[in-house]
């Protein structure tokens, strides 16, 4: 959304308080946000709030021109890459459906060529009223898009459909709106993420520091690019990206089964999970009581899922990760060859800003055909975009051979 101009229209309704969070998140994402408020909206949230969050003048009056050299509603209408009305009240929906332009918001919308998205919010009975549904149907014929309200407890006390979509969901949908189709569109991508837990007894297990943030960021980015994503995830505290099939697992054995049984049906596997290399030889059925003596636990190797996929692969793309503390390039390239990978993403876990349970990473990407790139410290979302860029570029080179 960087450098995109997004107009957020706020109409009258208690859901207007959510719009403050929406504007804040869009601004933080790099969008140039202009807020347009109806008179009724100002009864719930002040224009000053939106001005502080958007860092732009808030438009409330068609006849107030902050810049005398421009006609405000035409200028903003021409600049807009997208207009999002959230909340969209029954009254505003009715005005737009009937071409009424009696305030800054409705006038601007009638004057724009930009795509228009409405996020309705109202009492469940109002939303279900034939007049409202007719108006919505009319606007859809004009090309307006709607983000369906959620169901639940409403501010009026009723329970039903009418809650405006949450700001986080709206931001995600806006991001998707600006994503251009890529070569991953329609491809089936399986991503693994998070740690595994290898049971020792009913209350103890061996695990690692993986948070799953890298894998979840890759799954989210692949979904944005139009891929059909399956996320095989160990236990994490993260919410999976919307629209992604989620397969929860606990152990390395469960991950092996989840991935290998689906491998023939996918186009690519990106294996970012931190899978345990060892597991206890014996899992105790009862909790082991504390004793004075030392406790030695014999370990055995877990199944090597990535190596098995490398043996089985036909035309699938296979991406592995190498988390190392020394000789990063040597170990990464060795793993790339030894496990028959197409790409490997390597990071030095001792480097500042890299490794487990952080929001950032520092990676190098090596490909089977000898390409390599190093990236500075970036957010894991940015790293995920680089990984998929490299995967798409590699796939195009491979297909030309």
Q: Residue 186 in 3-state DSSP? A: coil
Q: Which residues are annotated as a binding site for CTP?
A: 277, 287, 321, 335, 339
| Beta partners for residue 271, in sequence order | 192
Range list of β-strands (E), 96-226 = 116-120, 145-146, 150-153, 159-163, 188-193, 198-201, 204-206
Is 213 labeled as catalytic in the residue annotation?
A: no
Q: Which residues are annotated as a binding site?
A: 277, 287, 321, 335, 339
Q: Measured on CA atoms in the order 157, 159, 161, 167, is the torsion positive or negative?
A: positive
Report how far apart, in Å, the C-alpha atoms of 346 and of each of 190, 193, 236 are.
19, 15, 22
**11, 41 Cβ separation under 8 angstroms:** yes
- Of 14, 71, 126, 156, which residue is the catalytic one? 156
**Whole-angstrom Cα distance, residue 276 to residue 281?**
13
CA 33 to chain centre: 20
Q: Which long-range contacts (CB under 8 A, 24 or more apart) does 382-386 make?
A: 383/214, 383/217, 384/214, 384/217, 384/218, 384/220, 384/221, 385/221
The residues annotated with a catalytic role in the active site are 156
């Amino acid at each position: 959304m960087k450098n995109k101009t997004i107009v957020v229209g706020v109409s009258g309704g208690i859901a207007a308080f959510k719009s403050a969070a929406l504007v804040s998140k869009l601004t933080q994402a790099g969008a140039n946000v202009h807020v347009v408020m109806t008179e009724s909206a100002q009864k719930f949230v002040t224009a000053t709030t939106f001005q502080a969050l958007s860092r732009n003048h808030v438009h409330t009056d068609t006849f107030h021109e902050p810049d005398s050299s421009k006609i405000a509603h035409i200028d903003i209408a021409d600049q807009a890459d997208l207009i999002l009305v959230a909340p969209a009240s029954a009254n505003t929906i009715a005005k737009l459906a009937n071409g009424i332009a009696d305030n800054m918001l409705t006038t601007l919308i009638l004057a724009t060529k930009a795509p228009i998205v409405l996020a309705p919010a109202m009492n469940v009975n109002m939303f279900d009223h034939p007049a409202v549904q007719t108006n919505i149907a009319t606007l859809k014929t004009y090309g307006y898009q709607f983000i369906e309200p959620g169901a639940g407890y409403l501010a009026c006390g009723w329970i039903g459909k009418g809650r405006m979509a949450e700001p986080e969901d709206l931001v995600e949908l806006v991001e998707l709106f600006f994503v251009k189709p890529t070569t991953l569109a329609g491809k089936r991508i399986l991503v693994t993420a998070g740690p595994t837990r290898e049971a020792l007894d009913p209350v103890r297990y061996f695990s690692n520091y993986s948070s799953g943030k890298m894998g979840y960021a890759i799954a989210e980015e692949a979904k944005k690019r139009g891929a059909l994503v399956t996320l095989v995830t160990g236990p994490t505290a993260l919410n999976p990206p919307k629209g992604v099939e989620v397969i929860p697992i606990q152990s390395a054995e469960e991950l092996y089964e989840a991935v290998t049984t689906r491998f023939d049906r996918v186009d690519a596997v990106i294996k970012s999970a931190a899978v345990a290399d060892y597991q206890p030889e014996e899992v105790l059925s009862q909790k082991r009581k504390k004793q004075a003596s030392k406790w030695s636990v014999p370990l055995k190797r877990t199944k090597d899922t990535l190596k098995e996929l490398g043996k089985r692969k036909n035309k699938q793309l296979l991406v592995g990760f190498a988390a190392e503390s020394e000789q990063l390039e040597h170990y990464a390239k060795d793993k790339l060859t030894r496990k028959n990978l197409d790409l490997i993403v390597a990071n030095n876990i001792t480097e500042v800003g890299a490794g487990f349970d952080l929001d950032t990473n520092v990676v190098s990407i090596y490909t089977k055909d000898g390409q390599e790139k190093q990236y500075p410290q970036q957010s894991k979302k940015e790293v995920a975009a680089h990984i998929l860029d490299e995967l798409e570029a590699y796939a195009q080179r491979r297909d030309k051979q």
